[in-house]
Amino acid sequence: MTLQDHVFRALADPTRRSILLMLADGDRTVGEVASRFDMTRPAVAKHLKVLGDGGLVTVEARGRERINRLNPEPLAQVAQWVARFEVFWDARLAALKTEVETKDD
């Protein structure tokens, strides 16, 4: 599995997307992340591992705590990949606009 595959796998889950939004507001421990969800701490740790596998989260050990931090770089790669399809949508929307505008004629 490529790194890009790991990123898309990580983003596929709504809980993991929520965790990313939380980490965008600041670094959090596993306990802090878990306190926001109705799931066990080990379940949250598994989600954080998947995010880490995708390079979206980095972990820093501070004593006994593990601080999770958002790494936005892989999201830029996703944005570049998605941008490839803008041409498709631009052409489709332009055709739709033309169709709608000529229907009245």
* Residues near 39 by beta carbon (within 8 Å), at least 6 away in sequence: 15
Q: How far apart are CA 29 and CA 9, in angstroms?
A: 22
Residue 29 forms beta bridges with which residues? 67
* Residues near 11 by beta carbon (within 8 Å), at least 6 away in sequence: 17, 20, 54, 56, 78
Looking at residue 4, what is its pLDDT? 81
Q: Could you tell me the pTM of the whole model?
A: 0.78
Looking at residue 82, what is its pLDDT? 85
Looking at residue 105, what is its pLDDT? 58
The amino acid at 53: D
Given a cut of 50, the residues of the chain with pLDDT beneath it are none
Looking at residue 104, what is its pLDDT? 63
The SS3 call for residue 58 is: strand
Domains in the chain (CATH in brackets) are: 3-103 (1.10.10.10)
Around Cβ 49, how many Cβ atoms within 10 Å? Answer: 13
Looking at residue 5, what is its pLDDT? 87
Q: How far apart are CA 74 and CA 50, in angstroms?
A: 13
Compute and round to an integer the Cα radius of gyration of the chain. 19
Looking at residue 20, what is its pLDDT? 97
